Chains A and B, each alone.
Chain A
Amino acid sequence: MRKIVSIILLSVIAIGIVLTLMKIPFAVPKTKVGAYYVDKGVGQTGAVNIVTSVVLNYRGFDTLGEVTVLFIAALGLGAVLATVKKKTKREIMPSSLVLSTGCKFLFPFILLFGTYIFIHGHLTPGGGFQGGAIIASGFLLIYLSCPKKRINEARFKVTESIAGLTFVITGILGLAFGGYFLFNFLPKGVANTLFSAGIIPIIYIAIGFKVGAELAGIIDGLMRISE
């Protein structure tokens, strides 16, 4: 009986969703703000990547909130993990020479790729969040392949705090120079070059370090209790 009721309820919800979605045309802009960003974005912000100009310039304050949400999530996970008792020490088997050497060889290249992604965030697809996640996956590779190699977790926290402070201080400097938070007070430069778009590369580098340190810190905490 309960199953029949739940199936009927689910089908009603499904029909409702389908009927609603049928009326919405796919990939047709319904607001004018998107066309405005595409037309004026490069001229107003200097960033060739329109997504970056929206994320860090038009909607920069939202990005600060997003970074804060990630920080609170990492903080909550750290608080939960701090109460977990460690298991009795297991014998850690050393990984094979080929695996550990190969992963140590790959690690700097992964860091370089992540850094490239967030430094070129205003020119090519990608940015601080993506680059930070790639850097954290490099740390994950090292943590999985070399059981002896552990990074001091205080360094992650220091990096994260400095990066977060850089973001907020850049925003407050905009408030001092231009009158509103995250004002683009640096010269915009020539579009399509590395040193362009004012404060956007600075903020994306800060976000890249912050996200990378945060996600690597989460992995560090989880690996610590599971060993």
Chain B
Amino acid sequence: MIIFIILLVFVMLVAAVSACIFRDLLNAVIASCIVSLIAAILFYFLQAPDVAMAEASIGAALVTAIFVITIRRTKREE
């Protein structure tokens, strides 16, 4: 289990750094969505299911959708 959590944290760090680096904003939004999703899983492992549900539904679903809609209206490249 601990190996799985370490792997998740590693993927989360990689996604967070790549969200800052990507020039294509759509890729950056997807990377930040991955960060939120893994944060939700980690909250669940830390025995905070309430926070995990809020993070998964708001951070991973709604915020990503709002950013994608905004990118469709504005420019895609930075």
Contact = CB atoms under 8 A, between A and B. Distances in A.
A225 B62 contact: no
Interface stretch (B9-17, B20-28, B29-37, B67-75): B67-75
Nearest to B58: A133
B65 interface: yes
Interface in A143-182: 144
Contacts of A215: 62
A140 B53 contact: no
A23 B23 CA distance: 38
A196 interface: no
Contact of A137 (B49, B54, B61): B61
A133 B54 contact: yes
A183 interface: no
B50 A222 contact: no
B53 A126 contact: yes
Interface band, chain A: 20 to 34
Interface string A197-227: 0000000000000000001001100110110
Nearest to A216: B62
B7 interface: no
B72 to A, nearest CB: 5
B5 interface: no
A223 B69 contact: yes
Interface of B: 46, 49-50, 52-54, 57-58, 61-62, 65-66, 69-70, 72-73
Interface of A: 27, 49, 51, 87, 117, 125-127, 129-130, 133-134, 136-137, 140, 144, 215, 218-219, 222-223, 225-226
5 contacts: A51-B50, A130-B50, A137-B61, A140-B62, A222-B66
